[in-house]
């Protein structure tokens, strides 16, 4: 640990799970390092873990009570798992066994550790340790992939001599790698803490009569992923979304609108104070000029629909942005994807744009993943086909970089 890192975890509260594997003894050193770095560390041990190391060891090293029993009566009326997850900034599952990883992947909550992981909305880091065959077994690999896809961070096990006498992968990652992961993830939870992020998401509906509207296939997933990720990085987040089935992300103010004009009004209302605007909504460019008051009957001839242009929300935000506000747009294009996105970047004076194709395998519309390229003046990053959650993380990384270079 260098002097700069010495007590850099001061003020953070970590919930550390210890599982029942041979590497449980190594977790004592990690808990000690985290505490020396200033973190307030609370340890939960599985029942199996207590067969390898006593709770007393972790109690002495963390200087806090060690939790082993979900049903233990506390000194105050506080449901243990809720109290623990509420006060922690992140959870770290150490020497994660094949068994605990399997339980986490399937939402099983039959002890305090697995219940806390299920109950937390904070980042979770998992450092597995097991014999090579257990690690390589198809169920373990599938369970790890499931958890990674849900956003849990894994600290890859290393290779070397294992307690079972074999040499192979499955060794608990080094203390340095695990503590570095804690630092990295904690830093990320603070990365946008001084930003007020305003995000638009989803499609809009442009009614022609009370029963019919023009819209597009946007699901809102991209904007919701951006909002969740920005909130997880400590930003104050306002999400203005068109109609979608998606549930409100945690710690995000959500404003639900229907039409482009409603979205426009909500954005302008919330723009003052915004430091980062991300326009990911698929706003309808046109609306029926007049809305027929009563449902047009099938047997009647449909009156001719004349289309009127909707407000260009992102162009207006870009032009009237609060001082220092970064503006990032999305361009869903069916042809000349990058060129059209670059034109939009320049025409609307954006700080960056995400170019997405529509149609085909990696289409921006529908699905949990999409093909994306980030473009900004003087820069380009091809993300390829990625989960929308990964695209969201990359967009916010770029926003942080642009913010740094603007300073
Ligand atoms: C001596 C010994 C060492 C073990 N080491 C490991 C290990 O390193 N990794 C693992 O996944 N399981 C290991 N196990 C098996 C676990 O203890 C067992 O799957 C247990 O149910 C895990 O419980 P937990 O996940 O609740 O901690 C070991 C068992 C014994 C007896």
Domains of the chain (ranges; CATH) run 13-190 (3.40.50.1950), 196-284+303-406 (3.40.50.10300)
Task: Check pLDDT > 90 for residue 81.
Answer: no
Q: Within 13 Å, how many C-alpha atoms sit on residue 61's CB side?
A: 20
Six-digit token string for 177: 């790698």
Whole-angstrom distance, CA of residue 121 vs CA of residue 138: 28
CA of 314 to the centre of ligand 1 (A): 54
pLDDT-wise least confident of 24-28, 88-92, 383-387, 395-399: 383-387
Task: Check pLDDT > 70 for residue 201.
Answer: yes
Nearest to 312 by CA among 329, 333, 290: 329
> Ligand 1 atom 6: the closest Cα is on which residue?
21
pLDDT recorded at residue 282:
96
In the chain, the percentage of residues whose pLDDT exceeds 90 is 79
Six-digit token string for 206: 């442009």
pLDDT recorded at residue 70:
83
> Ligand 1 atom 11: the closest Cα is on which residue?
97
- What does the CA dihedral 269, 273, 279, 284 come to, rounded to 10 degrees? 10
CA of 144 to the centre of ligand 1 (A): 17
Task: Check pLDDT > 90 for residue 396.
Answer: yes
Q: Kindly give, in sequence order, each residue whose CB lies less than 8 Å from that of residue 176, ignoring residues fewer than 6 positions away.
A: none
Per-residue confidence at 366, pLDDT binned at 50, 70, 90? low
Whole-angstrom distance, CA of residue 268 vs CA of residue 274: 10
Catalytic residue numbers? 164
Are 224 and 254 in contact by the 8 Å Cβ rule? The answer is no
Name residue, tokens 């744009």: 353
Mean pLDDT (whole number) for 268-290: 97
CA of 15 to the centre of ligand 1 (A): 21
Q: What is the pLDDT of residues 328-357, one digit of tens each?
A: 999 988 899 999 999 999 999 999 999 998
Which has more pLDDT, 369 or 289? 289
Are 81 and 70 in contact by the 8 Å Cβ rule? The answer is yes
Q: Ligand 1, residues 22, 50, 94, 97: which to mutate, most atoms within 8 A of Cβ? A: 97
**Measured from the CB, is residue 20 less than 6 Å from ligand 1?**
yes
**Measured from the CB, is residue 104 less than 6 Å from ligand 1?**
no
**Measured from the CB, is residue 117 less than 6 Å from ligand 1?**
no
Q: Kindly give, in sequence order, each residue whose CB lies less than 8 Å from that of residue 319, ignoring residues fewer than 6 positions away.
A: 349
Q: What is the pLDDT of residues 228-250, one digit of tens each?
A: 999 999 999 999 999 999 999 98
**How many whole angstroms from its chain centre is CA 56?**
36
Whole-angstrom distance, CA of residue 354 vs CA of residue 364: 10
**Measured from the CB, is residue 97 less than 6 Å from ligand 1?**
yes
Nearest to 324 by CA among 194, 229, 225, 232: 194
Per-residue confidence at 121, pLDDT binned at 50, 70, 90? confident
pLDDT recorded at residue 77:
43
Q: In the 8-state DSSP scheme, what is residue 282?
A: B
CA of 90 to the centre of ligand 1 (A): 24
**Measured from the CB, is residue 93 less than 6 Å from ligand 1?**
no
Mean pLDDT (whole number) for 359-377: 80
Task: Check pLDDT > 80 for residue 97.
Answer: yes
pLDDT recorded at residue 234:
93
In the chain, the percentage of residues whose pLDDT exceeds 70 is 95
CA of 118 to the centre of ligand 1 (A): 21
Mean pLDDT (whole number) for 277-289: 97
Which has more pLDDT, 302 or 146? 146
Q: For the chain, what is the mean pLDDT?
A: 92
Per-residue b/e over 60-95, b at no fewer than 16 CB within 10 Å?
ebbeeebbbebeeeeeeeeebbebbbeebbbbbbbb
Whole-angstrom distance, CA of residue 160 vs CA of residue 239: 48
Q: pTM above the 0.85 mark?
A: no
In 168-308, which residue ranges form alpha helices assigned H by DSSP? 175-190, 221-232, 260-270
Which has more pLDDT, 75 or 289? 289
């Amino acid at each position: 640990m260098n002097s700069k890192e010495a007590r850099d975890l001061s003020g953070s509260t970590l919930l550390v799970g210890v599982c029942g594997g041979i590497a449980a003894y190594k977790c004592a050193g990690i808990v000690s390092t985290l505490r020396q770095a200033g973190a307030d560390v609370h340890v939960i041990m599985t029942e199996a873990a207590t067969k390898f190391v006593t709770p007393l060891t972790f109690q002495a090293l963390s200087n806090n009570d060690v939790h082993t029993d979900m049903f233990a009566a506390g000194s105050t009326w506080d449901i243990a798992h809720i109290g623990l997850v509420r006060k922690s900034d992140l959870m770290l599952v150490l020497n994660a066994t094949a068994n605990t990883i399997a339980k986490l992947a399937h939402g099983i909550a039959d002890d305090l550790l697995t219940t806390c992981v299920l109950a937390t909305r904070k980042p979770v880091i998992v450092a597995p340790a097991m014999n090579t065959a257990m690690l390589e077994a198809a169920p373990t690999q599938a369970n790890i992939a499931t958890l990674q896809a849900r956003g849990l961070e894994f600290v890859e096990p290393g290779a070397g001599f294992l307690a079972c006498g074999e040499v192979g992968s499955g060794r608990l990652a080094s203390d340095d790698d695990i503590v570095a992961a804690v630092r990295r993830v904690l830093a990320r939870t603070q990365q946008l803490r001084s930003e007020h992020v305003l995000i638009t998401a989803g499609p809009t509906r442009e009614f022609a009569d009370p029963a019919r509207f023009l819209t597009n296939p946007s699901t809102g997933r991209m904007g919701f992923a951006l909002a969740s990720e920005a909130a997880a990085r400590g930003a104050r987040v306002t999400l203005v979304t068109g109609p979608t089935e998606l549930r409100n992300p945690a710690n995000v103010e959500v404003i639900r609108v229907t039409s482009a004009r409603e979205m426009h009004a909500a954005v302008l209302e919330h723009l003052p104070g915004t430091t980062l605007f991300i326009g990911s909504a698929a706003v309808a460019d046109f609306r029926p000029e007049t809305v027929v008051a009563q449902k047009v009957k099938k047997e009647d001839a449909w009156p001719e629909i004349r289309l009127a242009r909707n407000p260009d929300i992102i162009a207006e935000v870009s032009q009237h942005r609060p001082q220092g506000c970064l503006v990032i747009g999305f361009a869903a294009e069916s042809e000349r994807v990058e060129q059209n996105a670059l034109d939009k970047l320049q025409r609307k004076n954006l700080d960056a744009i995400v170019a997405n194709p529509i149609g085909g395998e990696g289409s921006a519309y529908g699905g949990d993943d999409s093909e994306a390229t980030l473009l900004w003046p003087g820069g380009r990053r091809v993300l390829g086909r990625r989960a929308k959650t990964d695209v969201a993380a990359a967009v916010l990384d770029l926003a942080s970089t642009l913010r740094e270079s603007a300073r």
